[in-house]
Amino acid sequence: MPLRDGRLSHDIDPTDRAPQDACGVFGVWVPADQAARAEVSKLTYYGLYALQHRGQESAGIAVSDGSRIVVFKDMGLVAQVFDESVLNTLRGHIAVGHCRYSTTGSPTWENAQPTFRSTDAGGLALVHNGNLINTQELAARLEPGVLTATSDTEVLTALLADQGEGGPLAAAREILPATRGAYSLVFMDEGTLYAARDPEGVRPLVLGALEDRGWVVASETAGLDIVGARFVREIEPGEMVAIDGAGVRSERFAEARPKGCLFEYVYLARPDTTIAGRSVQATRVEVGRRLAREHPVEADMVIPTPESGTPAAIGYAEASGIPYGQGLVKNSYVGRTFIQPSQTIRQLGIRLKLNPLREAIEGRRLVVVDDSIVRGNTQRAIVAMLRDAGAAEVHVRISSPPVSWPCFYGIDFATRAELIAGHLSVEEIRDSIGADSLGYISLDELISASHIAKDRLCRACFDGEYPIPVDENARGKHLLEVTR
């Protein structure tokens, strides 16, 4: 998607991008007497920088100084939207921040977050990771013309702002039990930081402590690490917390029914993040070991598709005894801040992102490890490129089961018709991408590597079993735009 400065917010070919997570969320509270030193806007900036992988369309920060809330947001990456001069104008002791990839609602400035609403007592700013599946039902509670954007987050914000005398907590107690889908929320009024997580806990959300009595809430533990916060615990499914001068207060608005997203371990989360007490990096390496045992092959070298396939490739090499090596070099900047390519340049395809090390792969039998296959275009191009560079054999190994079903809880996958595993067998996929062999990790082995019980995980993209039933009419990122 072209930005106003001519750069792109995700991959150079929008028809063949990787699965996109909905968003990264971040919140920070420090005592008012620490505001000048803590610089919460800059803490939030760094937190969002650590969470940039979760959303690359827009970014925003809201800050409260105790009497008013100021919001700054725009389209683009965190480093494009904010600079020193902007951050210096955002002064206060409470902040929430967001980096977005759209699931419900188009990628427009109006749908960028934080969303803000005036209330009887002041203001409310909110950020959201996930996707609601009863957005239209919730929107029907609002008066016509109230919505100024077309995202599910806008609907939630409008409902929470219509709070009367009870404040955000009272409104949340009423609204959240009626809200279905995935939502990790961080929101604030002028004096308090709040966080809430859906009863299934589909998307991660963690609480951390700063020195000098400060608190941080973030999508991933990597967001805590970058600001020097100590991990305290996860926000529990069905839990809401409030943070102010009295400390952290917790209450439940729904019974916990844990269904954490298994795909977070496969691709979405940073490898240096911990989810449910399990290191993402350790999980991915262990998946690679199990993949080698499930799908062995005689080969000369194991190479990853960088960077997403690297941990599993390390594990595959360890378990198989086949040497690990680098066969593909990635241009780290493509797909992040990249000038709009012409059609002629786009025809070079994958070479804009990856280039083979010919001397390392020529004449060798290769095992190429990647995290997933969505449409198959990227793997097809990689296999062809490796053969052109002289590879004797190309064996593809995937550290997730076939992605056969779309996600309605915060990942923007292709539709089932567009997913290659939605209509082709493994052997047909192997033939389509041109590999000598193709092996996927089994669902049972992936679950076992996560160290989480099967019944506490959402596996819908792999097995089609949706833990929160989704009505056909509630599916689609533009559903509110149709009725406006």
Q: How far apart are CA 314 and CA 388, in angstroms?
A: 25
CA distances from 143 to 140, 423, 482 (A): 8, 43, 17
Angle at 204 between CA 203 and CA 206, to 5 degrees: 150
Those residues whose C-beta lies under 8 Å from the C-beta of residue 273, and which sit 6 or more positions away, are 204, 220, 221, 222, 279, 280
Which residue bears the tokens 């921040």?
Answer: 97
Q: How far apart are CA 466 and CA 464, in angstroms?
A: 6
Q: Omega before 114 cis (within 30°)? A: yes
Residue 478 burial (CB count, 10 A): 11
99 is catalytic: no
Those residues whose C-beta lies under 8 Å from the C-beta of residue 13, and which sit 6 or more positions away, are 346, 349, 377
The pTM of the full predicted model, rounded to 2 decimals, is: 0.88
Contact 193, 152 (CB under 8 A): no
Angle between helices 310-320 and 280-294 (to 10 degrees): 50
Instruction: Tell me the Cα Rg of the chain.
Output: 23
Q: How far apart are CA 425 and CA 422, in angstroms?
A: 8
Paired residues of 181 in beta bridges? 132
- What is the full per-residue pLDDT of the chain (484 aa) written as tens digits? 334 443 333 444 444 545 444 689 999 999 999 998 889 999 999 999 999 999 888 999 999 999 999 999 999 999 999 999 999 999 999 999 999 875 554 557 778 899 999 888 889 999 999 999 999 999 999 888 777 776 889 999 999 988 777 789 999 999 999 999 999 999 999 999 999 999 999 999 999 999 988 999 999 999 999 999 999 999 999 999 999 999 999 999 999 999 999 999 999 999 999 999 999 999 999 999 999 999 999 999 999 999 889 999 999 999 999 999 999 998 876 654 434 455 555 556 677 788 999 999 999 999 999 999 988 988 999 999 999 999 999 999 999 999 999 999 988 776 888 899 999 999 999 999 999 999 999 999 999 999 999 999 999 999 999 999 987 554 544 444 444 4
